[in-house]
Structure 1
């Protein structure tokens, strides 16, 4: 199997088999991220992909799911993705679900009809690292798109019938813009109606521009209490029914799960309890000790 280090995969999807079709991230400029620093974006050759699929056929001949790597394979144009999905079905004929991560901008070069065809070939779920629905915040951390782009491109996925996830990065706007980040993100996410909303708490990793800006007094990171208060505000304003999960955010044990709207009051209650009674010093120490995702 061909894999480029470091290997990141979505732990909420089936974690095997994996198939690398790209390496790194096309953007690789987000101020908070270290995932693919030093990794040049590259496209795996169809010969390598076929060799990996032949190997997978000997190991898991009846595989029904597969997760495509790496950072944003969805960046490949339709003309490159279609033959890859066809090869997956050729080598693994029981295939039902193809999962992949992507950026909002990866959808700009694809029509709804093309996305429908990719779905027919197995592309069923896409995880989008959206992070915010607030334009100021998106510009501040160099995401490379705005809220109107999120709405337009996610609308294509909805029209094509492809399920998608959206992530909210708790704390990434800093203290000065926390409220707008939370409220505007909840508004945009609610409008897009993803099948899943995931939240993660910002950690300022070594080597990131955002840490350097914080050290220079140019970024005002939130305390653990303020992180939870921002997450609470996001949850209070989120109105789409979805699966809701938290990752990299220390908090109550019952926050994650399906049927968000039915559980919303309980989630809010748990977050308020964490704000008032949680061991915030321990949470802060855990976050400080993280060095990478």
Structure 2
């Protein structure tokens, strides 16, 4: 298999087989991330993709799922992406679900009709690293799009009947804009129809511009308690029904599961308990041991 340095795969999706079709990240400029900092973006050569599909077909000829790699493989135009999906179906004729993580901006270069055709070829579910629905925060962390872009591109996915995930990055606005980040993100997410909303807490990794800004006093990170308060505010203002998960260091009960709106009060109560009684030192210790997103 032609796996290059630094690949990301979603652990909640089937993690075998995996097929890398791009290297690196087209944006590679988010201030909180260094995952692909040293990996120039390029598309995998088609001969590599076909060789990998031959290998997968030998090992798992009855595979019904596959996850595309790396950071944002759907950046490809329809004309480049469709032939890859066609080859997947040719080598793996029982294929049902093709998964991919990608950026909001990667949907722009595809029409709804093209997205529908990709759905017919097996592209059933994608994960969008949204991080925030607040324009100030999106600019602050250099995501490369605004809240209106999130809504516009998600509506296209909905029209094409492609399921999608949305992520909220807790703490990424710092103390300077925490309340607005939580409330405005929830408002934007609630105007969409994600099948899943996932949250994670910001960790300032070495080499990230955001850590350097924090060291210069230009960014004020949230404490663990403040992170929980921000997450609670986000949950309180979120009104879309979905599967809800969190990667936060919090260990409270009832945080992950389906039917978010039915469980919303229980999630809030669990977060309130963690805010008042949680082991904040343990949470901070867990965060300090994280090495990557």
TM-score, normalization by structure 1: 0.99
Cα distance, 1:152 vs structure 2: 0.3
Partner secondary structure for residue 81 of structure 2: helix
Q: How does 1:161-200 map to 2 (within 5 A)?
A: 161-200=161-200
In the other structure, the counterpart of 1:26 is 26
Q: How does 1:150-169 map to 2 (within 5 A)?
A: 150-169=150-169
In the other structure, the counterpart of 1:108 is 108
In the other structure, the counterpart of 1:131 is 131
Residues 249 and 286, structure 2, Cα contact 8 Å, conserved in 1: no
In the other structure, the counterpart of 1:290 is 290
Ranges of 4+ aligned residues in structure 1 off by more than 4 Å? none
In the other structure, the counterpart of 2:271 is 271
In the aligned structure 1, how far is the partner of 2:252 from the partner of 2:174?
23
User: What are the superposed Cα offsets for residues 203-258 of structure 1, whole Å, 9 maximum, x if unpaired?
Assistant: 00000000000010000100000000000000000000000000143231320111
Unaligned segments of structure 2, at least 5 residues = none
Residues 112 and 159, structure 2, Cα contact 8 Å, conserved in 1: yes
- Note the aligned Cα RMSD (angstroms): 0.8
Q: How does 1:51-62 map to 2 (within 5 A)?
A: 51-62=51-62
In the other structure, the counterpart of 1:255 is 255
In the other structure, the counterpart of 2:85 is 85
Please tell me whether residue 8 in structure 1 is matched to residue 8 in structure 2: yes
Please tell me whether residue 71 in structure 1 is matched to residue 76 in structure 2: no
Residues 64 and 97, structure 1, Cα contact 8 Å, conserved in 2: yes
TM-score, normalization by structure 2: 0.99
Cα distance, 1:7 vs structure 2: 2.4
Please tell me whether residue 224 in structure 1 is matched to residue 249 in structure 2: no
User: What are the superposed Cα offsets for residues 35-60 of structure 1, whole Å, 9 maximum, x if unpaired?
Assistant: 11100111011111111000000000
Cα distance, 1:292 vs structure 2: 1.9
